[in-house]
Homo-oligomer: A and B are copies of this chain.
């Protein structure tokens, strides 16, 4: 009889195994935390699948992507696992030229997570999705016993519409293209490392975690022949350069003295013995742009939030094919290889 009341719902302060069992407690958790935060999803949340009119895709191509997020700590300067989960998936869509349409949200929660933490994460997701111009339309909730997961893992999947006249792909990159970035390197990874606390570091650094849709649209308007864009997350800028080079059979050549780097990131990298080229970003993309459109691209980016530090970091050349190379401060060349082994675990 008490089917929709608020008083008896979410008794206690934290998630229990019952909240993952498929019954009333789980529905209460979904209603009270996720549907309240995500708002408009209430209707589709009642069927097993969200339903979307194809009009939203305007006759173009559908883009489809997913990411799971296991970051530690779940709250960090500049964001939390919820904001990260939305931005990460949105950014994987927008770097393909897609306009994000809808997201899913699937959580795996360790028994004992405070409702307050879950509320905060759900609110972050809703805010980030609104900023990115898309909706969270369906989801799933699992709860596992203490020790079977670490607080919360969040998966998001996303679909978006790629307009018919766009074909961004790493294989389109060719010698002569400029390599540009929209912001400084490594802020997400450095902020998270500093926040872990066991290193005794304090810093004013914030994660650069943000939806990149507006910046990408500005870039494509100013530089319509942009070949490819990719956000640099795990593995950092070095990994994107290697992927670009491998997919296009070119060489991505960058100059160390052109890399935009905040003093704090440089400092933390030195303390930890990390190379900023490999540190994860969550609000940075690398784009390959025809040389003739590079100035227009940079000017457009610099006018926007998150693009103020946009600059060219290098160019595409013919050889050595499939490799990334950096001219160091001292004038010599060094190979920028794929990341070997692990650098920063649980950074996203």
Contact = CB atoms under 8 A, between A and B. Distances in A.
Interface stretch (A49-57, A118-126, A293-301): A49-57
Given A49-B93, A62-B51, A149-B148, A70 B170 contact: no
A18 B147 CA distance: 22
Contacts of A22: 233-236, 239, 280, 339
Given A149-B149, A247-B46, A104 B64 contact: yes
Nearest to A48: B92
A140 interface: yes
Given A49-B63, A54-B60, A108 B23 contact: no
Nearest to A231: B48
Interface string A22-65: 11111100000000000000000011111111100101111111
A24 B61 contact: no
B62 A54 contact: yes
Interface residues on A, range: 35 or more
A20 B64 contact: no
Given A49-B96, A162-B51, A104 B18 contact: no
A159 B93 CA distance: 16
B157 A21 contact: no
Interface string A64-76: 1111111010000
Contacts of A24: 337-340
A246 interface: yes
A52 B161 CA distance: 10
Q: How many copies does the complex hold?
A: 2
B63 A95 contact: no
Contact of A96 (B47, B65, B105, B345): B47
B23 A339 contact: yes
A25 B66 contact: no
B144 A48 contact: no
A155 interface: yes
B104 A65 contact: yes
A108 B70 contact: yes
B64 A52 contact: yes
A322 interface: yes
A246 B140 CA distance: 20
Given A46-B170, A149-B150, A162-B51, A66 B23 contact: no
Given A47-B96, A49-B64, A149-B153, A144 B339 contact: no
Given A66-B106, A67-B140, A104-B157, 8 more contacts: A21-B341, A22-B339, A48-B95, A49-B64, A54-B60, A65-B104, A70-B149, A148-B150
Interface of A: 3, 16-18, 20-27, 46-54, 57, 59-70, 72, 92-93, 95-96, 98, 102, 104-108, 137-140, 142-145, 147-150, 153, 155, 157, 159-160, 162, 169-170, 230-231, 233-236, 239, 243, 246-247, 278, 280, 322, 337-346
7 contacts: A20-B342, A22-B234, A46-B247, A54-B57, A66-B106, A68-B155, A70-B144
